[in-house]
Amino acid sequence: MNEPIKNRYEFVYLFDVENGNPNGDPDAGNMPRIDPETHFGIITDVCLKRKIRNFVEISSGAQPPNDIYVKEKAVLSKQQGKAYQALQFDSKKDKGAEIISQARRWMCQNFYDIRTFGAVMSLKENNCGQVRGPVQINFARSIDPICPLDVTITRMAVATEKEADSQSGDNRTMGRKQIVPYGLYRVEGYISAHLAAQTGFGEEDLEMLWQALINMFDHDHSAARGKMCARKLIVFKHDSALGNAPAHKLFDKVKIKQVGETKPAREFEDYELELPEDGKLPDFQEVTVINKL
């Protein structure tokens, strides 16, 4: 297993959506999520973590040490049972803190998302405790207010013979599609070296995270999500585990604004990005800007 990372990191990630629904709200008829007071668009951390998990799963073949714990149709107690089976524990007889500690360590070693985001695994069956992950991500928010659209669509076919008969020969049916014409979103994240030491999150895991953020939308296309693209990834690498500056001060150094405000933004080029200048950050080891190619 890799040595855990030794440095603290923060990052700012910019991505956009065109004519798609980046994160529907089931409490609002699946309309794109918004802040009701300001109409800024919102995307939950859970949505973004799902895309990271999916990328890691397809790029690694879902094999240890990069298997995925929380995936579609996974039964979590069975996932945890893999640890008890590998360690030759009997979940009905073997109890106690040491058993849980060993099972938790095995889960961290074999599941990328546990090693990265942490997990609550304190189920009654195959108890593996819980662990807090070193990578934490905020909700994403759009740079400008968005204007969600509820678009009517038609279908030229029906599902059953009964439907066809009721249409009197006209097979067209009506449906709805919820989109954002354009939105540029910003999300901020944190990576703790202290928590990485507890889960074993290493340099290869960190590189996998960057690759996932850069490429995950290219493997997540659907008719509902429209055109989604990663645009910029700005990474702050501190020169120690404790770090050089508060995260919010680093985030404030990354500014983005619309170029001219005479019309609503409809592409990434409608914005300009201001990045930290050399010498303007306190003793930093590295500031990296990763462009989407």
Q: By the 8 A CB rule, do 127 and 76 touch?
A: no
State residue 95's pLDDT score. Answer: 83
State residue 292's pLDDT score. Answer: 46
State residue 293's pLDDT score. Answer: 37
Q: By the 8 A CB rule, do 220 and 54 touch?
A: yes
Mind giving me the DSSP string for 107-141?
A: HHHHBHHHHHHEEEE--SSS--EEEE-SEEEPPEE
State residue 167's pLDDT score. Answer: 54
State residue 166's pLDDT score. Answer: 65
What is the pLDDT averaged over residues 174-188?
Answer: 92
Residue 168 has pLDDT above 90, yes or no: no
Average pLDDT, the chain: 89
Within 10 angstroms of residue 13's Cβ, the number of other Cβ atoms is 23
State residue 283's pLDDT score. Answer: 62
Cis-peptide into 65, omega within 30 deg: yes
Q: By the 8 A CB rule, do 51 and 215 touch?
A: no
Which of 85-89, 132-136, 224-228, 282-286 is least confident?
Answer: 282-286
For the whole model, what pTM was predicted?
Answer: 0.90
Residue 162 has pLDDT above 90, yes or no: no
Cβ within 8 Å of residue 231, ≥6 positions away: 14, 15, 16, 184, 268, 291, 292
Confidence grade of residue 198 (pLDDT, cut at 50, 70, 90): very high
Q: By the 8 A CB rule, do 132 and 116 touch?
A: no
CA distance 169 to 63: 52
3-class DSSP assignment, residue 88 = coil
What is the pLDDT averaged over residues 203-221?
Answer: 95
State residue 94's pLDDT score. Answer: 78
What is the pLDDT averaged over residues 118-122?
Answer: 95
Q: By the 8 A CB rule, do 32 and 39 touch?
A: no
Confidence grade of residue 282 (pLDDT, cut at 50, 70, 90): low
- pLDDT tens digits, 41-94: 999 999 999 999 999 999 988 899 999 999 988 899 999 999 999 998 887 777
Q: By the 8 A CB rule, do 228 and 15 touch?
A: yes
